[in-house]
Amino acid sequence: MLPFDRHFIKTCLQQTGTFPVVRSIYRKISPRIKRQRDRELMFYGSIIPQKSLCFDIGANLGQRSSVFVELGSRVIIVEPNDNCFGTLRYEFSKNDKVWIVPKAVGAKEGETIFFSHGTDSTASVNPNWDYKVFGSDRGQKSRTVPMTTIDALISRFGKPHFIKVDVEGFEMEVLRGMSNPVPVLSLEYHHDDIKSISDCLSYLKSMSPLSIRASNMDCEWLTERTSDLTSCLSQIEAVKASGDLVVWSDK
């Protein structure tokens, strides 16, 4: 029996243009994905009001965007990785609640270098985003992509109630392109890089008082909502967690 090579199968499906269809079918029949989806609907339903405007920055294949849509939100998908475009178009191009913006997001408008691995959907503007996983021999590919800012997105689409930021270590630069607070946003965090998330919180706190609450990778709350930012980050370090940090502007 031939060994199961997930990457090889995925690459073949992408090359034949069938990946979006096969992926969609798989996600509909997988009990594991159904359980995760139910958790995500409950989690985001508790922080996003009905019919809100949401920005999904670093949308990847739109996993979270589809949850936001199911919750009744209007969604701006922002993703620079062309390995994701076929799936995003397949899932959302006929939905009038969704707009796809094929750009990176940073501190200023223009262009930037984008780093990826072959046909992988996960990538980043941060050149060291994958070092911990792949080491120094990473086989990265780079290309130039257009870059926008949160301020420019707000000018075009309006002020969102919620922004999801998942950009593999480029979060601080994304936030530098935002001049005013939004009601709620989430930032991916890792317990072994608390300084990065602390820097992001310091920048956001310069615009508004904050309260925060940490969840794990499965959208399960780990901490209570608190305005004691240091205490929350210490709890994350203590349990060696990774996940999303939800940040409320209390202005």
| Better pLDDT: 135 or 159 | 159
Confidence of residue 2 (pLDDT cuts 50, 70, 90): very low
pLDDT given at position 138: 56
Confidence of residue 1 (pLDDT cuts 50, 70, 90): very low
| Residues 54, 47: Cα–Cα separation, whole Å | 11
Where are the domains positioned within the chain?
32-180, 188-251
Per the prediction, the chain carries an average pLDDT of 90
CA angle 197, 190, 149 (to 5 degrees): 45
| Residues 63, 69: Cα–Cα separation, whole Å | 10
CATH number given to 32-180? 3.40.50.150
**What is the tens place of the pLDDT at every residue in 142-192?**
889 999 999 999 999 999 999 999 998 889 999 999 999 999 999 999 998
Contact 154, 57 (CB under 8 A): no
Which single residue is written with the structure tokens 């996993």? 63
Segment 92-119 shows an average pLDDT of 90
pLDDT given at position 9: 75
**Stretch (H or E) spanning 133:** helix 131-134
Q: Above 60 in pLDDT, residue 119? A: no
Instruction: Give strand pairing partners of 186.
Output: 164, 246
pLDDT given at position 15: 73
